[in-house]
Amino acid sequence: MQVVNTVLDLKEWIRSTKQSGQSIGLVPTMGFLHEGHLALVEAAKAETDVVAMSIFVNPAQFGPNEDFDRYPRDFERDSMLAEKAGVDLIFAPSVEEMYPNETQITMGAGSLANVLCGKSRPGHFDGVLKVVTKLFHLLQPDAAYFGQKDAQQMAIIESLVRDFNFPLQIRRVETVREQDGLAKSSRNVYLSEAERIEAPKLYEALQRGVKDAREGQDPILEMIRLIESETSGTLDYIELLSYPDLQQEPNAQAILALAVQFQKARLIDNIIFNLKEN
């Protein structure tokens, strides 16, 4: 496995990989890898000749009061896990390498960011679009792999790629969960012991909500009751929308999603499902 930190070295690796006719799968990450990331690597390995992983905590997608500075980082552990998983290249640039100059050009997710996390994290998805656009151009992947836990991100990136003819496929990979149902996330390390015990209630509430929605009932009130009575977290949102276009009043493919703020961890989770199937 090769590790490169500069765009110049990356370009050399891309040039020789492309020259030898190998397809590239990209797994974009912010590091602090867990099994969710490794599932993305596994999906990439099954479909492409070589797998490149980016590890970059992207300041552009964090708000001024968010956790950019304390976001967990452990490059040594990440590179060990990546190598074991069969990653061929890690691209781990510094902030200065990634954003060497101020740009006047901005990218906007538009109305896709008016719901779910976009509503409570203004500018977040614009920052995600900025970094993935750069990563797609720098790494020139044939396919890029994203986890369903960040379903709004996935929908916005799919729209970017489709609407602007980026020459790559976006692949969706299912959320990886702990045995008790908690979605794997780098931010789970922020949970206190007591919060960790309560956290699986989020997925339980989602499952209950999906059942109710399929039976034609409004799932939201019962989910609010469950989360408020069985966790110490503060509910940020619960929304039922169409997927991937994120419109109100879905009638077939839907997403039921929530965000709950614990003391230090803001957890998100969702289920994408068909309202008409049981």
Q: Is 26 an interacting residue with respect to ligand PAF (CB under 6 A)?
A: no
E-strand stretches of the chain: 2-4, 24-29, 50-55, 89-91, 143-147, 169-173, 234-242, 253-261, 266-274
CB of 247 to ligand PAF, least distance (A): 23
Q: Is 29 an interacting residue with respect to ligand PAF (CB under 6 A)?
A: yes
- Nearer to ligand PAF by Cβ, of 85 and 227: the residue is 85
Cis link prior to 141 (omega < 30° from 0)?
no
- Nearer to ligand PAF by Cβ, of 30 and 182: the residue is 30
Nearest by Cα to 187 from 133, 87, 268: 268
192-213 per-residue burial string, b: 16 or more CB within 10 A, e: under 16: eeebbebbbbbbebbeebbebb
Q: Which stretch binds ligand PAF (CB under 6 A): 17-25, 126-134, 194-202, 234-242?
A: 126-134
DSSP string, 33-62: --HHHHHHHHHHHHH-SEEEEEE---GGGS
CB of 56 to ligand PAF, least distance (A): 6
- Nearer to ligand PAF by Cβ, of 33 and 227: the residue is 33
From candidates 17, 48, 58, 231, binder to ligand PAF by CB under 6 A: 58
- Nearer to ligand PAF by Cβ, of 136 and 210: the residue is 136
Q: Please indicate whether residue 37 is annotated as part of the active site.
A: yes
From candidates 52, 117, 128, 238, binder to ligand PAF by CB under 6 A: 128
**Radius of gyration of the CA atoms of the chain, in A:** 19
**Footprint of ligand PAF on 147-206 (CB under 6 A):** 150, 153
Q: Is 131 an interacting residue with respect to ligand PAF (CB under 6 A)?
A: yes
Q: Which two tokens stand for residue 12?
A: 């050399």
- Residues in contact with ligand PAF by the rule CB under 6 A: 28-30, 58, 61, 128, 131-132, 150, 153
